[in-house]
Amino acid sequence: MKRLRFSLNAKILLLAFACMICGSMLLSWLSLAQYRENLRPALEQKTATIGSSINTVLTGALGYGIPLQKLQGVNEYLDEMQKTNPEIVFLSVSDDQGRLLYRSQANGDIAGAPAISPAIDMDGQRIGQIDIHIDPNYVEKKIAELTLDIGAVVVVSVTIAFELLLFVVAFNISSRLEAIRTALARFNAAGECKRLSVEFADELGRFVHGLNGIMEKLSAAAAGRMAHEETATKSGGVDYIRWPFFLLIASDSMTLSFFPLYVDQLYTPIWGMSREFIVSLPISLFMLVWALSLPFGGAWSDAVGRRRAFVVGAVVTAVGLVLAGFASSILDLLLWRSITAIGYSLVFITVQGYITDHTLPQNRSRGMATFVTTFFAGSMAGAAIGGILADRVGMNVIFVGSGLLSLAAALFVARFIARDKPAAAKPKLKLSDFKIVCVDRDFLMVTFFSAIPSKIALTGFLYYSAPILLNILGSTQSTAGRVMMLYGLVIIILSPMVAYLSDKLRSRSSFILLGSLMAAIAVSLIYFETSVTTLMISIFLLGLGHAIGVPTQLTLITEINPELSARVGVGTVVGIFRLMERAGNLIGPMLAALLIGLLGYSSSFLFLSILLGLCTVVLAIYLALKKRAAFGQS
């Protein structure tokens, strides 16, 4: 028995992952080989077609009697052809003497680029030629891109499988084993004989049936009465809420990688506001409504029970998402997004409440870590899948699909989560608490110079600017989804490690400052080079910075001023902190939009980065002074 080192869950999950990853790697390898083989001839075919299409346009103009040397707008036309055909690095037209007449702006190195050169014939006479230079690395670039796509899909499938398996194992095995263990332990300790409900006629069900038989005999022998007890499979623990929460977050995140572009499609001028600003409004309003409805959602969720609150929240979210897919103007989109935000906040706070209900104080922080991980896993999976699908089915369809996914989450909760009693009303935030907390200098410094800037970077840079930038850079929606998922991926992978290190090193301030600094650097990179790769690095760095800094902010806020926490309670301090940091969510998109309208893209990011950097410096000085003062006192 002692040799068992992994839990049952871990074993099943590891095995499933190993199978999935091996399977998809094999499949990818096979299909990529096939792809590579077919791509080259297809590329040659396509180049020939481009050649003849350019030829047709040129000879069409020549046919009107315009001399080859006098053609106008040929360079622009060649540029356009090159732009729409990414495998071409250079296009040129020369006369029959080989003199270069027209050329596109070369895209990359043309020295080693193979060319095909169809002749331009007029009345059966050769009068010139077209040279089409093909990127020698195009096939490899395509394959690399496809590999990344496959990688994204594998990561997402593993995430989904993880969430789903966790539930399946919890529902079918671990929670029932736990119920049996409890029953046996009680029998052991107090001689209680209780009948367990069988529920399913599977192996465990048969085992429970047998166990009930034994219990019955023992009970008869002891002349006691058998008591019935329900196994706890339906009330469930934290693992039960993960999957529906994951589904809901994924559904809302499916539009993440293209949301600003969707808004931009609906753009009409409103009250002389700039286009960028109007496009930022739906995100900001969503954040505002979400933040404002959280306290009400929390109170309502406490009053009606988690199951009902989740179902209602998910249905409201679904309605908002579907209607957003049919939006015909910015104004009605704002309304539908507000509805989604209300539903979303209800689910958000309900799941937090559910976790509190089903954990004890000693394992609550682990429960909340589950919450955060599931949130980012859902957000990552949703963004990636939404992006990949948007290319194929269109943005409106994704909204409708995401609404259906939210409904699925609601159905799941209705089916698998037990009806529960209203929770005991929690102490509400009081105005007097605000008066105490909001004048505390330590609290304010961390909130205003670290937490709010982090949120500004998240919503202003990642949610608002990144999709627009990716679109400007000509990325497909798949690429956009893949790039956007990086943030969630980094957070999921690094958060446990950071939490471990932060507890071990106990150096909160340096973690926060490091995280903030990384976020500032992340945002600035775009100023120096505007490319998809840079943006990927930016988003990776932002994720890294936030993984390091953001969870630590919360710890610091509760530790930096022990007197404050003692006076109003840690929960109150955290509650007020959460409330205030959400201002950053709201400001982010609008600030980014205003800056972009005023300064253009790259300078805006430099400005934003300087702003984030300054906040970091101010906080660093403050923390250093505080430390010195503390040394002075001791």
Partner 1 sequence: MKKIVFFVLISVLACFAHAGQPPSAAAAYRIGMVLYRGVTDAETGFMNYLKSRLPRVEFIIRDCAEDAGKLPGIVAEMKRLKPDLVYTFGTSATIATVGTVHAVDPALHLIDIPVVFNIVADPVGAGIATQLASSGRNLTGVMHLVPMESQLRALQSAGTFRKMAVLYSRNEKNSVLTVQALKNLAAPAGIDIDEFPIEAGDANDEGLAGIMRKILLSKPEIVYIPSDSFLIKKSPIVSSALRSGKIPSFSATEGPIQQNGILMGLVSTYYNAGAFAGYRAEQILANKIRPENIPMSTLNQFSFLINMKSALEIGYYPPLNVLRFARVVDAAR
For binding to partner 1 (CB under 8 A), which residues are involved? 57-58, 60-61, 63-66, 70-74, 76-77, 80
- CA-CA distance, 58 to 120, in Å (whole number)? 8
Q: Of 57 and 143, which CB lies nearer to partner 1 in the complex structure?
A: 57
Residue 60 beta carbon to partner 1: minimum distance, rounded to whole angstroms? 7
Residue 98 beta carbon to partner 1: minimum distance, rounded to whole angstroms? 22
CA distances from 600 to 114, 356, 588, 595, 630 (A): 38, 46, 16, 7, 45
3-state secondary structure of 560: coil
Q: Of 66 and 425, which CB lies nearer to partner 1 in the complex structure?
A: 66
Residue 540 beta carbon to partner 1: minimum distance, rounded to whole angstroms? 40
- CA-CA distance, 310 to 301, in Å (whole number)? 8
Q: Of 58 and 407, which CB lies nearer to partner 1 in the complex structure?
A: 58
Q: Of 31 and 56, which CB lies nearer to partner 1 in the complex structure?
A: 56
Whether the Cβ atoms of residue 570 and residue 558 lie closer than 8 Å to each other: yes
Q: Of 61 and 499, which CB lies nearer to partner 1 in the complex structure?
A: 61
Residue 80 beta carbon to partner 1: minimum distance, rounded to whole angstroms? 8
115-116 vs 125-134, strand pairing mode: antiparallel
Residue 76 beta carbon to partner 1: minimum distance, rounded to whole angstroms? 7
Q: Give, as one character, the DSSP assignment of residue 392.
A: H
Instruction: Read off the amino acid at residue 495.
Output: S
CA distances from 523 to 487, 550, 584 (A): 13, 16, 16
Q: Of 48 and 66, which CB lies nearer to partner 1 in the complex structure?
A: 66
Q: Of 41 and 65, which CB lies nearer to partner 1 in the complex structure?
A: 65
Residue 71 beta carbon to partner 1: minimum distance, rounded to whole angstroms? 6
User: Tokens in use for 275?
Assistant: 């286009």
User: Tokens in use for 489?
Assistant: 């991926």
Residue 85 beta carbon to partner 1: minimum distance, rounded to whole angstroms? 16
Residue 64 beta carbon to partner 1: minimum distance, rounded to whole angstroms? 5
Q: Of 95 and 442, which CB lies nearer to partner 1 in the complex structure?
A: 95
User: Tokens in use for 380?
Assistant: 């990552």
Handedness of CA 372, 378, 381, 387 (dihedral sign): negative
228 pairs with which residues across the strands?
A: 195
Residue 471 beta carbon to partner 1: minimum distance, rounded to whole angstroms? 24
Nearest to 129 by CA among 140, 116, 118, 137: 118
User: Tokens in use for 543?
Assistant: 């994720």
Cα angle 519, 521, 522 (rounded to 5 degrees) comes to 60
- CA-CA distance, 244 to 351, in Å (whole number)? 10
Q: Of 23 and 60, which CB lies nearer to partner 1 in the complex structure?
A: 60
Residue 23 beta carbon to partner 1: minimum distance, rounded to whole angstroms? 49
Cα angle 401, 386, 600 (rounded to 5 degrees) comes to 125
Q: Which residues contact 346 (CB under 8 A, 6 or more apart)?
A: 293, 297, 300, 301, 309, 310, 312, 313, 316
Q: Of 94 and 406, which CB lies nearer to partner 1 in the complex structure?
A: 94
